């Protein structure tokens, strides 16, 4: 499995998203996570809110017996029921509770899940320092942050912000479109997030791509509005010897600063998508797939 450098870790470029594993039985969830690890994934994403903590609990059980330094464990905090909370108290207690649920002494990466407009930067800084000094968290990231929101956070915290987890996939390409259509009078040129893609690259941050299969009406393989696009992706899949879902993953992997987070809870589907790892798209193929999905290459 292709590895990239992330902080001091060698991580699989593909991550496993654990958001829905808490919906499965404990046995199924454990088998799925173990299979992912056996297939070469060593970087796992979770959050305190996923299945009300059950996803973290099952994940902890799944990796029991694996050397702790063989896996990179990430979780997120800051979303509460109906509001966001970056208070020192909430950040610290979220990590303490996540550690209890997972049965670990530390987590490798803590991400702030969604920007809290009411954030007091000094409190976040105190929370990060305390978690780091107590050895509970090794490094930090954010999720769904714009460039300027990351700059604001960096004004206060001393730890590097190593990643930004953002929705990115063949059917959610805003951050790519805007860079392709600079200064044009069309919808593609609209920059929603303050140049978040070049911003992350400029600051040596990875982009963790959540929802790699998502489309307007759910997930593209089952989206009735995307019949033509699915046919085209199937054709690409046939040409490359992989499934259309794997084409979507290979397309993301061509960007070496992007880590696709695969969210399926079906181990067979996961195995098929991991075939993406054996494919390196040419530059021409990458652009052609992008335009085949209805995007503009001016
Ligand atoms: N930071 C954030 O705000 C945020 C938001 C959402 C997610 N995330 C993270 O990103 C991860 C991935 O997100 P996601 O789960 O939305 O991503 P995804 O990989 O795009 O979607 C996975 C979902 O698609 C379904 N699916 C439907 N058809 C499929 C097919 N043909 N092949 C494979 N899957 C198919 C899966 O169902 P089956 O399970 O039945 O295969 C599963 O429910 C999450 O687990 C979580 O860790 C982060």
Report residue 120 as tokens. Answer: 């007091």
Please list, in sequence order, all residues whose beta carbon lies within 8 angstroms of the beta carbon of residue 298, skipping any fewer than 6 positions away.
Answer: 180, 181, 184
The residue whose C-alpha atom lies closest to atom 15 belonging to ligand 1 is: 263
Residues with CB under 6 A from ligand 1: 17-20, 45, 113, 143-144, 165, 210-214, 219, 221-222, 245, 261-266, 269
pLDDT tens digits, residue range 170-212?
A: 999 999 999 999 999 999 999 999 999 999 999 999 999 999 9
Those residues whose C-beta lies under 8 Å from the C-beta of residue 139, and which sit 6 or more positions away, are: 7, 108, 109, 110, 159, 160, 162
Nearest CA to ligand 1 atom 38: 264
The preferred substitution site among 35, 44, 263 for testing ligand 1, maximizing ligand atoms within 8 Å of CB, is 263
pLDDT reported for residue 5: 97
What are 82-120's pLDDT values in tens digits?
999 999 999 999 999 999 999 999 999 999 999 999 999
- Predicted local distance difference test score (pLDDT) of residue 165: 98
Mean pLDDT of 263-287: 98
pLDDT single digits (tens) 126-174 = 999 999 999 999 999 999 999 999 999 999 999 999 999 999 999 999 9
């Amino acid at each position: 499995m292709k590895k990239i450098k992330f902080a001091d870790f060698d991580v699989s470029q593909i991550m496993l998203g654990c958001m829905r594993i808490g919906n499965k039985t404990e046995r199924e969830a454990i088998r799925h996570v173990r299979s992912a690890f056996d297939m070469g994934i060593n970087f796992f994403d979770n959050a305190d809110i996923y299945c009300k903590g059950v996803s973290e609990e099952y994940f902890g059980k799944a990796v029991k017996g694996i050397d702790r330094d063989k896996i990179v464990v990430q979780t997120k905090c800051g979303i509460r029921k109906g509001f966001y909370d970056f208070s020192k108290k909430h950040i610290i207690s979220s990590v303490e509770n996540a550690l209890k649920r997972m049965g670990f002494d530390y987590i490798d990466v803590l991400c702030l899940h969604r920007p809290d407009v009411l954030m007091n930067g000094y409190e976040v800084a105190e929370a990060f320092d305390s978690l780091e000094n107590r050895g509970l968290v090794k490094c930090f990231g954010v999720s769904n942050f714009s460039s300027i929101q990351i700059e604001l956070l960096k004004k206060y915290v001393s730890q590097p912000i190593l990643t930004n987890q953002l929705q990115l996939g063949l059917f959610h390409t805003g951050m790519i479109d805007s860079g392709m259509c600079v200064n044009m009078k069309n919808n593609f040129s609209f920059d929603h997030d303050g140049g978040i893609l070049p911003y992350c690259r400029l600051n040596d941050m990875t982009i963790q791509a959540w929802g790699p299969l998502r489309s307007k009406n759910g997930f593209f393989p089952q989206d009735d509005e995307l019949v033509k696009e699915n046919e085209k992706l199937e054709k690409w899949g046939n040409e490359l010897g992989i499934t259309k879902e794997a084409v979507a993953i290979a397309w993301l992997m061509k960007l070496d600063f992007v880590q696709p987070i695969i969210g399926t809870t079906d181990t067979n589907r996961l195995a098929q998508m991991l075939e993406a790892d054996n494919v390196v798209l040419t530059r021409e193929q990458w652009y052609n797939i992008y335009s085949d999905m209805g995007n503009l290459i001016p």
